Structure 1
Amino acid sequence: MATPQTLPRPQRAAPAELDTAPATRERPRFPGWRWMAVWPAFPIAGYIGWKIGGRVDAIDAALVGGALTAAGLGAVQWWAAKGALGRAAAWIGASAVGYAVGLAAGAALVGYDTDLGSLAVMGLVSGAALGAAQGLVLARQGRRALALPWALAMPVLFALGWSVASVTGIGVDDQFTVFGAGGALMFTLLSGLLLARFTPARTQAG
């Protein structure tokens, strides 16, 4: 009698491995529309600093007005950057101190003049002091990739901002603490590109 043949058991397919690696987002080219709030923050914070501190025609006025202006700007920048600039208190405080010292030094250096060359030099000096203070805060909080580029960009951006203000001729003779809407728009766009370029792309759970 023939023995029945035993059929081979079907092989079970190996379970597919799940990709548990978190998906990464591509680095954005601009930090988002929220960053555009920095644009109106310039004339608003500048006006507040100017009203309280007065015309930038003396060291004390530059110190008071510069500190108030930069504190307002720093607060809006920190909010708009969504945590990319570190702790709020450190960023705002460094902004206020750095810009107050820089504005006082820069304005005194050019004799409080408001011609194109004087405003550009004042922007270089005030931006350098601001950038150094903010860059130090970024470096101390582990954001070294952004710290140096940001610090180096500030004197250039502030010199350009004041140059735009001088060319348009809007309010420069009133000796404000910071440039107005035209220079502010340029600063917002260029600094936004810089922030996006040197801020690591965040990861999200897959």
Structure 2
Amino acid sequence: MVSFAGYPLGGYAALLLTGRVDGPAPALAGGLLTGAILGAIQVWALGRARPHPWAWVLATAVGLMVGVAAGAALVDYRTDLGSLVVQGAVAGTLTGIVQAVVLVPRLGARALLWPPYLGGAYAIGWAVTTSAGIDVDRQFTVFGASGALVVVVLTTVLPLVLGVRRGAEERTS
């Protein structure tokens, strides 16, 4: 659950340094910054079960950079509920694709389940944040704390799978 902090910290840093997600440049820069902060906090939170730290941070940063830019452009930077759900699905799926590359050595073909799962979780995160009345018109790079709590609960499956996989590897070595 400590990885929760990565979402509001990354999103707030991006808002302060790159501004609103209202065009390609702030979407790319904001997504990169948010992803780097989120990835670093996730690596720390995963502890011993984590994938290679730099690879995970880079994958999360690049994935969210491309995901936020593509998702926001796809919905023409709108912030209504439907648009943010689509943006979340795109951002989560693209982030998941890049992260899956890092996960394949540990999880094999099961890593291919991560992109659609993360896409669904991010879509739900935006739906929760928007429904909670958060000021989404400020065009954040990532959903708010309410959505982040839900996403962290939904994505807790990854550290569990990584931990089980690590335990199995240690027993066979």
Q: Give the TM-score normalised by the residue count of structure 2.
A: 0.90
Q: Which residue of 2 aligns with 1:165?
A: 129
Aligned residue number for residue 143 of structure 2: 179
User: 1:150 Cα deviation (Å)?
Assistant: 2.2
Runs of 4+ in 1 over 6 A off after TM superposition: none
Unaligned runs of 5+ in 1: 1-35
User: Does residue 1:127 correspond to 2:92, yes or no?
Assistant: yes
Q: 2:35 aligns with which of 58, 70, 83?
A: 70
Q: CA deviation at 1:45?
A: 1.1
Report the number of matched residues: 168
How has the CA–CA distance of structure 1 residues 199 and 149 changed in structure 2, closer, same or farther, with 3 Å as cutoff? Answer: farther
Q: TM-score, normalised by structure 1?
A: 0.77
* Cα distance in structure 2, aligned partners of 1:143 and 1:84: 12
Counterpart residue type for residue 120 of structure 2: V
Query: Which string of whole-angstrom CA distances, capped at 9 and with x for unpartnered residues, describes residues 13-41 of structure 1?
Result: xxxxxxxxxxxxxxxxxxxxxxx111122
Question: Aligned Cα RMSD in Å?
Answer: 1.6
Q: 1:150 to 1:84 in 2, by over 3 A?
A: farther
Letter in 2 for 1:200: V
Q: Aligned residues: percent identity? A: 45
Q: Structure 1 residues 47-56 or 190-199, which shifts more?
A: 190-199
| Alpha carbons 1:39, 1:185 under 8 Å: kept | yes
Gap regions ≥5 residues in structure 2: none
Amino acid of the structure 2 residue aligned with 1:72:
I
Would the aligned equivalents of 1:145 and 1:198 in 2 still touch at CA under 8 Å? no
SS of residue paired to 2:48: coil
- The 1:156–1:116 alpha-carbon spacing in structure 2 relative to 1, beyond 3 Å, is same
Per-residue deviation, residues 61-87 of structure 1 (Å, max 9, x unmatched): 000000000111111111111133311
Q: Measure, in 2, the Cα distance between the counterparts of 1:117 and 1:90.
A: 32
- 1:117 is paired with a residue of what secondary structure? helix
| CA-CA distance at 1:200 after TM superposition | 1.8
1:197, 1:86 → 2: CA distance? 12
Q: Which moved more, 1:195-204 or 1:55-64?
A: 195-204
Residue 194 of structure 1 and its aligned partner are, at CA, apart by: 4.1
Tell me the amino acid that sits aligned with residue 28 of structure 2. L
The 1-side partners of 2:112 and 2:130 are apart by: 28
As a proportion of its length, which structure holds more helix? 2
1:89-168 alignment, distance < 5 Å:
89-139=54-104, 141-144=105-108, 147-168=111-132
